[in-house]
């Protein structure tokens, strides 16, 4: 646990008692604060009481009279589409609003670091797609190369659940736009921007607000090194804002083109990763046969992870060896079965059009299971990438409408996962891939994309028995 600094003897309110909220409350108490907690869910209230946390109904008048700060869980809207009533009450009371990421960055460094030979580092990864894989891959490369490392944030553990820093340790944080948008302190040593595509637009009042939330990690964080995906205008904008001519502070990455100039670049073309500095190639890796990183979207993740680890002085051969032992994350291009020449891939994390398009580009002959709760913008952006789809098996509450939008694709409206898996298994032939890449959220039928992916994997195993 990271004890929170700066609130000793003060009362701090915590809104939202999921994983991050309960961890924040415990870390505040460990740092000498009094944490008063609230969640509208009675089940969450009971879980908090079972953990020994103090409850206070923050909706009541006067609830903030003795409160020094309000710590908000990431799923709670603080501005758009409408501020949560408790947050609005904190504003009216003049109480600063923060989140666990802000608490982490103000509390991670301690006086104990004066005795370390090597100062700990923090790598923060954000972007629309690939940030989980990139974060996990960075962590894997570090561990495989003998560097002490911890992984947290939007993946795995809450940031305040981490152990206090060890000498030379690297903390890798995956940060969503919900987390970067609100944090009052953002001070990573290395910040990574993978890419940008429309997502969470209601939460940020449009694409501009969404990008602004991501950009805070760089504009306000002031990282020593920035790894920036430049395949979209937003990434090129950030890179240009941060760079000084001829310096090595910004590392540009791409999977769409060879990057030139005198800067520090990492790009992948036709499955080959190349690193260039001052106009000369200094290293390369053949990514094509790395099983845990299939497709161009994973090659982008590989470029980002490679660049981040190079800034820490890890050599190309050490990075390549670690990449070859990387098995991938569940629900992200995860191979769950192979039978009679048919491969079954779980990419349930492909919850938007852009991530699904990248999954479709990773394989040549696809039986595609898709559908769910559609996001803004429709499916038009997917259509240029469906050429490898032999047939689509559509699930979800909006399956009929989803199927109608897939013009030029043979579709079968299945409704539920069991029917889709059964039909795809029956149709699939050797050399094909049965791919779950929904291009939609899961909440019409599942509590999370993880539950959806687990259901797919279970049904595949049952169908192959």
Q: Please report, in range form, the residues annotated as the binding site for ATP.
A: 127-133
CA distance 332 to 355: 10
CA distance 140 to 144: 6
CA distance 304 to 381: 24
Residues with Cβ within 8 Å of 438's Cβ and at least 6 positions away in sequence, in order, are 348, 350, 351, 356, 369, 370, 371, 372, 395, 396, 449, 452
Q: Pick the closest to residue 233 from 195, 270, 202, 264 (CA basis).
A: 195
Residue numbers belonging to the annotated binding site? 127-133
CA distance 268 to 270: 7
Q: If you compute the radius of gyration of the chain from its CA atoms, what whole number of angstroms results?
A: 23
Beta sheet of 11-15, edge-to-edge order? 54-55, 34-38, 11-15, 67-72, 97-98
Whether the Cβ atoms of residue 298 and residue 289 lie closer than 8 Å to each other: no
**CA-CA distances (angstroms) from residue 153 to 20, 74, 159, 264?**
9, 11, 5, 28
Residues with Cβ within 8 Å of 128's Cβ and at least 6 positions away in sequence, in order, are 194, 195, 196, 197, 198, 199, 352, 354, 355
Q: What is the dihedral of CA 370, 371, 376, 380, to 10 degrees?
A: 50
CA distance 85 to 326: 44
CA distance 228 to 129: 13
Whether the Cβ atoms of residue 414 and residue 420 lie closer than 8 Å to each other: yes
State CA 142 to chain mean position distance: 18
- The distance in angstroms from the start CA to the end CA of the chain is 44
């Amino acid at each position: 646990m990271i004890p929170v600094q700066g609130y000793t003897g003060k009362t701090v309110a915590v809104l939202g008692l999921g994983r991050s909220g309960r961890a924040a409350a415990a870390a505040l108490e460990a740092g000498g604060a009094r944490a008063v907690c609230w969640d509208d869910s009675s089940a969450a209230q009971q879980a908090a009481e079972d953990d020994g946390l103090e409850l206070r109904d923050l909706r009541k008048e006067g609830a903030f009279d003795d409160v020094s700060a309000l710590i908000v869980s990431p799923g709670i809207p603080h501005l758009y589409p409408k501020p949560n009533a408790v947050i609005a009450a904190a504003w009216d009371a003049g109480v600063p609003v923060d989140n666990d990421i802000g608490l982490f960055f103000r509390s991670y460094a301690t006086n104990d670091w004066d005795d370390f030979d090597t100062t700990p580092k923090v790598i923060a990864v954000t972007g629309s797609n690939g940030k989980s894989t990139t974060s996990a891959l960075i962590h894997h490369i570090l561990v495989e190369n003998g560097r002490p490392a911890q992984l947290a944030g939007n993946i795995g553990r809450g940031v305040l659940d981490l152990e206090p820093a060890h000498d030379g340790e690297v903390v890798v944080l995956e940060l969503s736009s919900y987390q970067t948008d609100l944090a009052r302190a953002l001070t990573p040593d290395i910040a990574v921007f993978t890419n940008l595509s429309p997502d969470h637009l209601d939460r940020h009042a449009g694409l501009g607000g969404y990008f602004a939330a991501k950009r805070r990690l760089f504009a306000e964080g002031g990282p020593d090194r920035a790894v920036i995906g430049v395949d979209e205008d937003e990434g090129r904008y950030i890179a240009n804002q941060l760079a000084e001519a001829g310096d090595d502070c910004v590392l540009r990455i791409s999977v769409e083109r060879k990057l030139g100039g005198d800067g520090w670049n990492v790009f992948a073309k036709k499955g080959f990763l190349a690193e260039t500095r001052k106009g000369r190639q200094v290293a390369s890796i053949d990514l094509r046969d790395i099983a845990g990183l299939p497709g161009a979207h994973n090659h982008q993740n590989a470029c980002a992870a490679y660049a981040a680890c190079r800034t820490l002085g890890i050599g190309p051969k050490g990075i390549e060896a670690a990449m070859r032992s990387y098995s991938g994350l569940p629900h992200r291009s995860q191979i769950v079965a192979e039978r009679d020449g048919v491969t079954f891939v779980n990419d349930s994390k492909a919850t938007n059009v852009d991530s699904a398009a990248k999954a479709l580009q990773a394989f040549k002959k696809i039986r595609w299971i898709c559908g769910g709760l559609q996001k803004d913008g429709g499916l038009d952006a997917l259509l240029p990438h469906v050429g490898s789809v032999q047939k689509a098996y559509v699930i979800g509450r909006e399956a009929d409408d989803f199927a109608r939008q897939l013009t030029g694709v043979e579709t079968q409206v299945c409704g539920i996962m069991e029917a889709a898996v059964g039909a795809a298994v029956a149709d699939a032939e050797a050399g094909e891939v049965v791919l779950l890449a929904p291009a939609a959220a899961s909440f019409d039928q599942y509590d999370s994309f993880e539950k959806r992916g687990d259901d797919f994997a279970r049904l595949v195993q049952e169908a192959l028995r």
